[in-house]
Structure 1
């Protein structure tokens, strides 16, 4: 596999750890209680570059690269959300972390939900960024809205998938899923896209999305998690200009979620940690009890599902 240089960020330490046979890259910063940041696709730990500094002033920030992405190995299997959650739990065990907080986005957001459902005694609080709720029902709005998710079928396609996942769709996603395009520089975009020059990572993307089509979406719509009890205090932050994850798809939790609030971020696309990092950091620190957010807007209270 091609060796790429890790981008430099002040105060960040990089480790490569063996987690159940998976060589896992993790970026670490700060001190205090653990806070795990779980990135989405087509990104990696660098997604959190603007948040690591502010959050590391209060927490021990742990930013792993998910299986097959960034600098974590890309084996031929394990590309289901439950496997991602197992990877993260194993990494925390390796680091000696028991109780933790987490922020997850996109694929990392789904992994975060599964960690909350499977290990509620370990997760103290959770923030999901632009992540569809795993408790969704197949309502007409959900079915109609699925048309915006064409990239899933494209990445999963038998012949075209490996060709399109080699930069074409990742580049399109980084350019079109962001509302505040000036927030993502050409240099940052290239840092994310360079991983897709490696055939093993392209194959990993194809496997993520094929498993999504063949297993996860049918199970989600059939109610796999609909009757699971979410007891971890959860804050959902979602951009109102996200072209792939609708606000409605992030709000549905049913009666078994005991402590969930949803807040819509104005004029933000799919990448709030890039588009509005100061706001996301402030909301996170407020929710986690680290400080009162100076950016809170009393005219826009969090919306309950």
Structure 2
């Protein structure tokens, strides 16, 4: 049975705001239970999780934000965007919500890199991470295969490419990375574009893309954290994604001891949009593996 979508207009109405270093950040929270932090990818926003939002909220306290420079959050033009700052933002959001217990993470794409930074900080005693699940993303710079638009944004003409970025350019990029039978609808493309275009987003895309070289700088530190093996991890990956599909999972299995991986056949870069039922099933199976048994209650 397909999962019900949350229309973007409804999603936006449910948002709240807090201020991070002088910038307004949109965030969402619902549900009860152990905190589950969802971290979105580039160039989209937290609405990416809308199919999974309500089903997961039946078991967990759901938390997500549009990161700085993304979605409906602030997109300052004169700012040096950084994955490390985005990790600071996630910790600031948790502090704002007074979350004190260990946090579970479900991340995608750019969000995978933020999650890797948080995982490294876990081993530096700066945050407590209870588990981490990665969807398609550039976990290893050596396996990341950027699309043409990303390469152009990284070039000296990136500022010009970003300002000229249109819905048509987004559609062209997305058609390269979604699965052959699971491409986004025109309505979904309208919504994705609305989030990219919000707050003059295209003018900063060349600044956001600096996450690619930043990944290379942090690579060894992040991989070392993943290899520690003390925090349960799983990869749920769309197999035919040309950016970070089966080839990335193969590298993950080479580098990570006792690698826990799931490949989704014929699914591309956005499994939470393309195959949310399968992502939900594999995520809950992962969590059920190490969930604490229910307490026995004595009856008299």
Which TM-score band (shorter chain)? 0.7 to 0.9
Relative to the length of structure 1, the TM-score reads 0.79
How many pairs were matched up?
A: 276
Displacement of 1:118 in angstroms is 0.9
The C-alpha deviation readout for 1:69-91, integer Å capped at 9, x for no partner, is: 11111123242211111111111
Hey, what's the Cα distance between the residues in 1 that align with 2:242 and 2:277?
Answer: 22
Contact kept in structure 2, 1:33 and 1:100, CA below 8 Å: yes
Paired residues for 1:24-173 under 5 Å: 24-75=25-76, 76-98=78-100, 99-120=102-123, 121-134=127-140, 138=142, 142=143, 146=145, 149-159=147-157, 160-173=160-173
**Cα 1:290/1:20, change in 2 over 3 Å:** farther
Relative to the length of structure 2, the TM-score reads 0.81
Displacement of 1:38 in angstroms is 0.9
**Cα 1:28/1:65, change in 2 over 3 Å:** same
SS of 1:101 mapped into structure 2: strand
**Cα 1:253/1:177, change in 2 over 3 Å:** closer
Contact kept in structure 1, 2:69 and 2:208, CA below 8 Å: no
Aligned to 1:298: none
Aligned to 1:197: 197
Contact kept in structure 1, 2:153 and 2:162, CA below 8 Å: yes
Paired residues for 1:254-293 under 5 Å: 260-289=259-288
Hey, what's the Cα distance between the residues in 2 that align with 1:46 and 1:198?
Answer: 13
**Cα 1:101/1:218, change in 2 over 3 Å:** closer
Displacement of 1:188 in angstroms is 1.8
Asked if 1:212 is matched to 2:211, the reply is yes
Aligned to 2:297: none
The C-alpha deviation readout for 1:160-213, integer Å capped at 9, x for no partner, is: 42244343432222233111555622222111102343564113321011x235
SS of 1:126 mapped into structure 2: strand
